[in-house]
Structure 1
Amino acid sequence: MAPTRLEKWRQPVTFNIVMANQIVNLKHTVAAIGLMVLLAGACFAQSTESEVDLLLDKLRSAPADEAARIDRDIQTAWLRSGSATIDLLIKRGSDALRAGDTKLAIEHFTALTDHAPEFAEGYHLRAQAYFHADLYGPAIDDLESTLTFNPLQYYAIFGLGAILQEFGNLRSAAQLYRRVLEINPHHENAQKALDGLRRDGIGRTV
């Protein structure tokens, strides 16, 4: 069975960046977005309670054997659009991404973001498609948009942290991994990535 959208985003991140100037040009942008994420969480925490707020509260204190189910419920809630058109574009784009047709996936997700410009998951889905197409600049832009509308989207925060780490901004990456674990203490890849940085002397707390 092919990996799901979320499974792909959870897998260890590998890059094939061949142009050094691309990395240099993106470093400052990524660092700025990372700072935005860290600051935005405090504002979002003041929002009124909702279904997702309650699920996130449960996730933070859940035993490990319940965390995966709560995580799935959160992802389902974030993807709930209330629009048949959006749901169809999500399905078509996700199907294309699973089939490895990143160009078609980007087209569907672009139609989605055009149709629903404030729907955070539209940008998150397209960020994954851009990522798999090795288009890291557009992926970063879409992660920024995702986190503008949903600063607690811990998969988007993790993806941004992975990009910072690849670009050599290790301390900021460690901050973002810690932010992921504040929201979802059961995020295994964030914990593994942070542990790896700590072994190298990065991201330790006193």
Structure 2
Amino acid sequence: MGQMMWRILRIYLPALMIVACLGSGAAADQNDQRLPPLFAELKARISLAQAKLLEAQIWSIWGNHGREDVERLMQRGIQAMGSGQLVNAIDLFQEIIRIDPDYAEAWNKLATVRYMLGEFEQSVEDVDRTLDLEPRHFGALAGLGMNFEALGNAKAAINAYRRALEVNPYLFSVRKRLKVLEDGLPEDAT
């Protein structure tokens, strides 16, 4: 695997595995009423441990569809991602999207796999769909920045990373990438 692919796995796989292991509850997704207060708290001055707990809660809600068949497909897709079976993961996430085209997390996972395969422009399209459904999706915003970096568009990457940090200021790897990119651009370019 390439260095960027390992980086994305290292950043997102722990959260993906938390979501996969949390089990089903009541139907939830990007429209869940528990999300607004979690996002508000995430913007407050809290400890890193509290921020990580809030992130895990948000990922859990995003990942919990409420339909058992969709959740089984999601778990299988996440497992396929983790084991490098990326084409199989794409098929599984596309099947979820056929079942529920308004499920933001399925679009986000599809975008992640396409990024891992180097299909950056398709990944950007899937991220855009994710953000249409869930504009606060800090994972998708970070992924958008990574896609733009891979496509050589530092200015767009900077904008995406800034948006991610507005939603979740505790994304330290995003903050680090943002600084690297900002330090590399002429002053009038940002």
**What secondary structure does 2:158 align onto?**
helix
Q: What are the within-5 Å matches in structure 2 for residues 23-102 of structure 1?
A: 50-61=33-44, 62-102=46-86
Runs of 4+ with deviation above 3 angstroms: 201-206
Separation in structure 1 between the aligned mates of residue 63 and residue 187 of structure 2, nearest angstrom? 32
**Counterpart AA for 2:103:** F
Per-residue deviation at 1:50?
Answer: 2.4
Q: TM-score, normalised by structure 2?
A: 0.79
* Partner in structure 2 of residue 10 of structure 1: 11
**Counterpart AA for 1:177:** Y
Q: Structure 1: 5+ residue runs without aligned partners?
A: 1-5, 12-47
Instruction: Report percent identity of matched pairs.
Output: 24
* Partner in structure 2 of residue 135 of structure 1: 119
| Conserved 8 A contact 2:96-2:106 | yes
Q: Deviation per CA, 1:28-60, whole angstroms, max 9, x where unpaired?
A: xxxxxxxxxxxxxxxxxxxx9921111011111
**Counterpart AA for 2:100:** A
Q: Which moved more, 1:160-169 or 1:86-95?
A: 160-169
Q: Deviation per CA, 1:127-152, whole angstroms, max 9, x where unpaired?
A: 11222222223212211111110111
| Conserved 8 A contact 1:174-1:194 | yes
Per-residue deviation at 1:158?
Answer: 0.9
Per-residue deviation at 1:167?
Answer: 2.2
The alpha-carbon distance between structure 1 residues 69 and 196, as it changes in their structure 2 partners (threshold 3 A), is same
Per-residue deviation at 1:194?
Answer: 1.0
1:184 to 168, 171, 179: 168
**Counterpart AA for 2:81:** L
Q: Deviation per CA, 1:53-97, whole angstroms, max 9, x where unpaired?
A: 110111111222211111000100111111101101101111111
Separation in structure 2 between the aligned mates of residue 104 and residue 97 of structure 1, nearest angstrom? 8
The alpha-carbon distance between structure 1 residues 49 and 165, as it changes in their structure 2 partners (threshold 3 A), is same
1:117 to 86, 101, 105: 101
Per-residue deviation at 1:7?
Answer: 6.4
Q: Structure 2: 5+ residue runs without aligned partners?
A: 1-6, 13-30
| Conserved 8 A contact 2:32-2:61 | no
Q: Deviation per CA, 1:182-205, whole angstroms, max 9, x where unpaired?
A: 110000111001111222245789
Q: Which moved more, 1:134-143 or 1:109-118?
A: 134-143
Q: TM-score, normalised by structure 1?
A: 0.73
The alpha-carbon distance between structure 1 residues 49 and 131, as it changes in their structure 2 partners (threshold 3 A), is closer
Separation in structure 1 between the aligned mates of residue 143 and residue 87 of structure 2, nearest angstrom? 20
Separation in structure 2 between the aligned mates of residue 195 and residue 203 of structure 1, nearest angstrom? 13
Q: What are the within-5 Å matches in structure 2 for residues 147-158 of structure 1?
A: 147-158=131-142
Q: What are the within-5 Å matches in structure 2 for residues 98-109 of structure 1?
A: 98-109=82-93
The alpha-carbon distance between structure 1 residues 202 and 174, as it changes in their structure 2 partners (threshold 3 A), is farther
